[in-house]
Structure 1
Amino acid sequence: MRSGQVKDGIERAPHRSLFKAMGYTDEEIRRPIIGIANAANDIIPGHVHLDKIVEAVKAGIYMAGGLPVTFGVIGVCDGIAMNHTGMHYSLGSRELIADTIEVMATAHAFDGLVMVPNCDKIVPGMLMAAARLDLPTVVISGGPMLAGKHPEKPGQKVDLISVFEAVGAVKRGTMDERELGLIEDAACPTCGSCSGMFTANSMNCLTEVIGMGLPGNGTVPAVMAERQRMAKYAGMKVMELLGAGITPRSIMTEKAFENALAVDMALGCSTNTVLHLPAIAGEAGVKIDLSMINEVSAKTPHLCSLSPGGKDHIEDLNRAGGISAVMKVLADAGRIHGDCMTVTGKSVSENIAASRVLDADVIRPLSNPYHEQGGLAVLFGNLAPEGCVVKQSAVRDEMMVHEGPARVYNSEEAASAAIMAGEIRKGDVVVIRYEGPKGGPGMREMLTPTSTIAGMGLDGDVALITDGRFSGGTRGAAIGHVSPEASSGGPIAFVEEGDIISINIREKSIALKVEDAVLEKRKASWTPPAAKITKGYMARYSQRVSSASRGAVLDG
């Protein structure tokens, strides 16, 4: 056992003495040591209950003959960090999470790991660590929140995005503050990751697809007893993986990531998966090119209409058969690699053999999809030579092709203020720049401007383009990850007020209608702006972070 480095032989008597100081017996010390990365805290709704999940994991490990030891992992709630300085720190936390787990697992010679995350950057950060360390590992998320119910409108579900969009409706004058308060109280009725196909649930679902989570990991609600049972099985399974020598790199293969992209398209996942999948794959020694997304999207229809772009929530997807049922639909048509290994110790094909769709409106057949192409699209053109990303399944038909004048803002705050002041007109293309990985720094999510536009009823008339990113809860023609970013001298830095921008999501193109010679002249007189954060972690992060087109990983 790897843990023999810290407990075997007479020379390790001091080490064993320290274990005994914590109450461990000789019998326990002789067991394999399984580290549990516990992201529980009292500031994230998706994490406030994770200690209960961890207790179940510990029970499973102990029943299977291991010694469970827990350690803490940080986490940022993107919703609470939204639209202020705190959001600079969200994406950067992913790297810290991966590094923290690497430190703890290596310093203490763990034999295996169970990862217990739930929300946005925590899930990919843990998966990056799993791939890097390559120790037997199982991921068990905390599960999704239930959707809320509007107290005065029977049958109308509400979620966190409903609150953001209600703010826009109040600004527009189509909703009063009393109703806003009702929605605020009803939108988040339980613990868990926010109830739509936002970033947290996207990543939890894809963790299951990749094979690092047990069936049900992505969709079983946080408040269901099944989640506790799954956590116990996760503890047992990591011991089986240890015995069989199955590690993350034998699971997170190129085929597994191809499966993840296919299911991503079928579900209509968050645009943030375009940042996280390449980063995780890179740690596993697999390369994901942005062009792959369009290739997979072209042959994988959008089968699920999930919030924010659709009517259903994760609880509905779970009731309809969950991720296994989605994979079964794709596998039956030859769109999934069934021979990939998973943490069950079985292949994908074996895991989904008995799965079936229980509600064909929630998970549609390939013959009757919600959209013929998958949920995401990558656009290329002179404004984004390295690409930019849009959740096309959440774009209204009339905005799939759009051309209009640029309204240029050098920060999210400036753009949000202009939108709320009613300064944006139908047909405009709002450009928000200097919000990329380097320039942000941290590539802030921008749910406030997009949800305000939707709430004001402008999502069928106005596009937003940024070198930053949008929340998984964003809908509308919101195009993010423009690369290269403005702070690196990308073309978005040289857009001027009134320039015409042409967007064609169907053709995967985006163009700034300005002559190359004019752009070169503008570039010659351009000076990068001063750094927004000059000390601490994010100052160091901004100096090392790569382009969004490469997953915003740290170079070197």
Structure 2
Amino acid sequence: MLRSNYQPGTVRWATRRAQWRALGLSDEDMLKPKIAVVNSSSDLAICFSHLDRVAARVKERIRAAGGLPFEVRTTAPSDFIHSAGHGGGYVLSARDLIVNDIEVGVEGAQLDGMICLASCDKTAPAQLMAAGRLNIPTLLLACGYQPSGQFRGEHCDIEDVFLHACGTPSDTLTGELTEMSEDAVRGPGVCAGMGTANSMHIVAEALGMALPGSTPVAADSPAMWREADRAAERIVAMVREDLRPRTIMTEAAFRNAARVALSVGASINTVKHLQAVAAETEVDIDITALYAQLGVGTPLLSAVRPNGPHTIEQFDAAGGARAVMAQLRDLLDLDALTATGTSVGDNLAGVAPADADVIRSGDRPFTRDPLILILRGSLTPLGGIVKLSVDGAGGERPETFTGPARCYDGQEDALDALAAGAIAAGDVVVVRGLGPRGRPGMGMASRIVFALDRAGLTGKVAVITDGQLSGLVNRGIVVGEVRPEAADAGPVALVRDGDVVHIDLPRRICDLRVPDDELERRRAGLPPAGEHGETGWLSVYRRTVRSLDEGAVLRPR
């Protein structure tokens, strides 16, 4: 019996029937599987602008498959739009707001299953987290990447605009940015390239929570509409089969997802998002350690911009996530169950890339070295993350770096110091106070990274931050998402100007060369946390967010 069906004659049955009859539903409708169509539509950003049409199509096909669809709305954060407020604190924190939006709408109404329209960076991880928390039949539908434009004859997308805008303001730069922004985005969908959104769509398929062959996909393309129809039909069947997320998202599934993420050079944000999904699914696994472990033996099979020369369109045409997984057969757990009701191995039968240069085999990879490095040491005892590229997109990057620290409590202070000439070659720029609790909500530190690049300091300085970095690639040696963060009295809070910092990429080390007794003296002198003055959502977030090694999920402290 469906959990949404109540005993006739009861209060719950009678009041709900009165409500739904007024919506035009029949008694026969009310006995069908009730499916939430989770939609993060918004007029604020182009990545969400087509979702209402997708939702309408999905609802139509759910009805045709014998289900009863109900659209459930959530908040719709876009990194480029919502990072304007509170130093970017509303971006990561919105991920967990979406999770709670879904819980209220779906669990409160006791619906039987949900199909989630995955779009911009925080929607897919939030939807996977909600699936793990609620544990009702769930399917993610990737709603696609946006078409990019050109700037003076060269490829130009939203990330190119962002990187170019990190230069020093001038009339010339303003003119170039005006021209670039005219054509960088030509339609709806998420950022092109192997950024967080496309990475998380691929991760969802690797986890078994999106249908095989559905990621990535061009927004509004015939392929996207076919996948929408297929997913709508499948979610009704999943409810009837009672196929639940916790049956799919097992430890084996997380290992597969991490392996696939490493093989495509995915966004570093996949690390914390997968940890959060594991936490909500109650799978006891250390995702950071998993990336470090699997990175050693996982070949890079694709190199999509900015990791390498290919576009997301070429990757899609070559077979996307399914083709990559086929090439990784020997490294995956093929018995892991997926949303099809069959195993990973079954889903990959007969699959091969359509272009062996874009998606390569394990004996001819782009590189055998991981693009995501996990550094540990006295400055990053719980880890810090470095993102590399295969074609020099990260600029000059020495393998080791030792230099004096220059410490800044926030990105704006660091940008001001750079403008004043206070940052020089040989320095290690430490930007702190940007972690999930410190901001709160996790602030971006990418502007200082790219400003240093525009100042000609890439490879001549290093950057260490407890903040969030671009999901794509960074310039020079950049260690991000340092754990514990400064707000949790991590070692990054104890660094002082002039302290020697040592980074060794081959050995995965990030050390602060200060005696232990001196660090303890400094720790004892840290001010108490105290009140921060926020009200509203961010005050709730600061009080309840856990550390990044726990996925920055919300839990009572």
Q: TM-score range by the shorter chain?
A: over 0.9
Deviation at 1:194, TM superposition (A): 0.5
Determine helix, strand or coil for the equivalent of 2:139. Answer: strand
The amino acid of 1:241's aligned partner reads M
Which residue of structure 1 lines up, in the alignment, with residue 459 of structure 2? Answer: 460
State the match for 1:79 in structure 2.
Answer: 80
Q: Secondary structure at the match of 2:511?
A: strand
- The answer to whether the aligner puts 1:379 opposite 2:375 as a matched pair is yes
TM-score of the superposition, structure 1-length normalised?
0.94
**Amino acid across the alignment from 1:329:** Q
Stretches of structure 1 lacking an aligned partner (at least 5 in a row): none
Residues 265 and 302 in structure 2, CA contact (< 8 A), matched pair in contact too: yes
TM-score computed with the length of structure 2 as normaliser: 0.94
**How far off is 1:177 after superposition?**
3.4
Q: Secondary structure at the match of 2:464?
A: strand
Distance of 1:206 and 1:238 partners within structure 2: 19
Count of equivalent residues: 550
Instruction: Give 1:294 deviation, angstroms.
Output: 0.8
**CA offset digits 1:344-400 (Å, max 9, x no partner):** 222212222232122233223222322212221111111111111111336456333
Is 2:201 aligned against 1:204? yes
Residues in 1 aligned to 2:184 and 2:144: alpha-carbon distance in whole angstroms: 17
- Name the structure 1 match of 2:149: 148
- Cα distance, 1:4–1:168 mapped onto 2, change above 3 Å: closer
CA contact (8 A) 2:409 2:433 kept: yes
Q: In structure 1, how many angstroms separate the alpha carbons of the residues matched to 2:381 and 2:50?
A: 43
Answering whether residue 161 of structure 2 is matched by residue 160 of structure 1, we say no
SS across alignment from 2:262: helix
Deviations 1:173-224 (A, max 9, x none): 9x74333322222222221110011111111110111011123433111131
Map of 1:242 onto structure 2:
239
Gaps of 5+ in 2: none
In structure 1, C-alpha distance between the alignment counterparts of 2:434 and 2:10, rounded to whole Å: 56
Alignment of 1:299-318 (within 5 A): 299-318=297-316
Deviations 1:2-60 (A, max 9, x none): 34444744652332121011111223222111111111111122111111111121122
- Given that 1:325 and 1:356 are in contact with CA atoms closer than 8 Å, whether structure 2 keeps it comes out as yes
Residue aligning to 1:65: 66
The answer to whether residue 358 in structure 2 is matched with residue 359 in structure 1 is: no
CA contact (8 A) 1:35 1:105 kept: yes
- For residues 105-504 of structure 1, the aligned pairs below 5 Å read 105-150=106-151, 152-153=152-153, 156-169=154-167, 176-289=173-286, 290-331=288-329, 334-393=330-389, 395-396=394-395, 398-476=397-475, 477-504=477-504
Q: Deviations over 1:105-131 (max 9, x none)?
A: 222121111111211222111111111
Structure 1: how far apart are the matches of 2:525 and 2:551? Answer: 30
Query: Offset of 1:446 from its aligned partner?
Result: 2.6
Q: Is the 8 A contact 2:209 2:248 kept in 1?
A: yes
SS of the equivalent of 2:143 reads: coil
CA distance 1:225–1:454, change in 2 (3 Å): farther
Query: 1:11-22 residue pairs with structure 2 within 5 A?
Result: 11=11, 12-22=13-23
**Is the 2:434–2:444 Cα contact (8 Å) retained in structure 1?**
no
CA distance in 2, matches of 1:526, 1:447: 27
Deviations 1:142-182 (A, max 9, x none): 111123222x23xx322222112212445599x74333322
Amino acid at match of 1:347: S
Q: 2:142·2:216 contact (CA, 8 Å) conserved in 1?
A: no
Structure 2: which amino acid aligns with 1:133? L
* Change over 3 Å in CA distance of 1:25–1:274 after alignment to 2: same
Give the secondary-structure state (helix, strand or coil) at the position aligned to 2:293. Answer: helix
Going from structure 1 to structure 2, the CA distance change for 1:288 and 1:459 (only over 3 Å counts) comes to farther
2:116 partner SS: strand
Residues in 2 aligned to 1:533 and 1:379: alpha-carbon distance in whole angstroms: 34
Please, which moves more after superposition, 512-521 or 136-145? 512-521
Query: Residues 4 and 260 from structure 1, CA distance in 2 versus in 1: closer, same or farther, beyond 3 angstroms?
Result: closer
- Relative distance call for 1:144 and 1:216 in structure 2 (3 A) is farther
Task: Single out whichever of 302-311 and 53-62 deviates more from structure 2.
Answer: 302-311
Give the whole-Å Cα distance in 2 for the aligned partners of 1:87 and 1:307: 25
Letter in structure 2 aligned against 1:95: D
Q: Distance in 2 between matches of 1:53 and 1:352?
A: 27
Report if aligned partners of 2:279, 2:553 keep a CA contact under 8 Å in 1: no
> Structure 1 residues 461, 310: closer, same or farther in 2, change over 3 A?
farther
Cα distance in 2 between the residues matched to 1:351 and 1:342: 9
In 2, Cα distance between the equivalents of 1:551 and 1:134? 19
Q: Distance in 2 between matches of 1:458 and 1:402?
A: 13
Q: Distance in 2 between the 1:360 and 1:427 partners?
A: 42
2 CA distance for matches of 1:429 and 1:490? Answer: 17
Give the Cα separation in 2 of the matches to 1:232 and 1:456: 50
Distance 1:366 1:77 in 2: 35
Structure 1: how far apart are the matches of 2:118 and 2:421? 40
3-state DSSP class of the match of 1:56? helix
Contact (CA 8 Å) 1:34, 1:111: kept in 2 or not?
yes
Secondary structure at the aligned position of 2:41 is classed as coil
2:522 match: 522
Take 1:4 and 1:169, find their aligned partners in 2: how far apart are those partners? Answer: 55
Identity across matched positions, percent: 36
Separation in structure 2 between the aligned mates of residue 188 and residue 7 of structure 1, nearest angstrom: 52
Q: Secondary structure at the match of 2:233?
A: helix
